[in-house]
Amino acid sequence: MDYHHVVEAAGVVSLGLIFYSYAFRWFEAGPVAWRRWRPVVTGLAFGVLAVVMMISRIQVAPDRYVDARAVPIALVTLVEGWMAGGLAAAFAVAYRIYLGGSGAFAGVLGIVATAAAAGVVRAWAQHDGVATCAR
């Protein structure tokens, strides 16, 4: 396994989290009307991150690769909610369909399942009274 690719993926996710930190503060400090745009902006940003993760895959063996596209989709859905997760997933799905190939259906199914599972976990956590960042 090439650990350079793992470090690269961790760096990309870290950049996304730093972006989210700044965007959260920026939207909270602005007018109330801006707050409704936060899930849209973060969803699109994390959708781009998911595509970047698909492009910069991790080589685990000769001719064997995995990608971490599920990480940004799950994170944004857990923290921001369904709208942001749906936008991120839609962006990633559009790119996966664009790529085509024999694994396109499975790739799309994996992306949708990740967003759905993260949304269910978020709803469950809110139901149990676990605090979340976005309210």
Q: What string of DSSP letters covers 87-113?
A: HHHHHHHHHHHHH-STTHHHHHHHHHH
Give the C-alpha separation, 75 to 88, whole Å. Answer: 10
Q: What is the pLDDT of residue 99?
A: 92
Give the C-alpha separation, 24 to 66, whole Å. Answer: 31
Question: Residue 78: is its pLDDT beyond 70?
Answer: yes
Give the residue-averaged pLDDT of 57-64.
83
Question: Residue 131: is its pLDDT beyond 80?
Answer: no
Non-local (6+) Cβ contacts of 121 within 8 A are 78
**What predicted TM-score, i.e. pTM, was given to this entire model?**
0.84
Give the C-alpha separation, 62 to 66, whole Å. Answer: 12
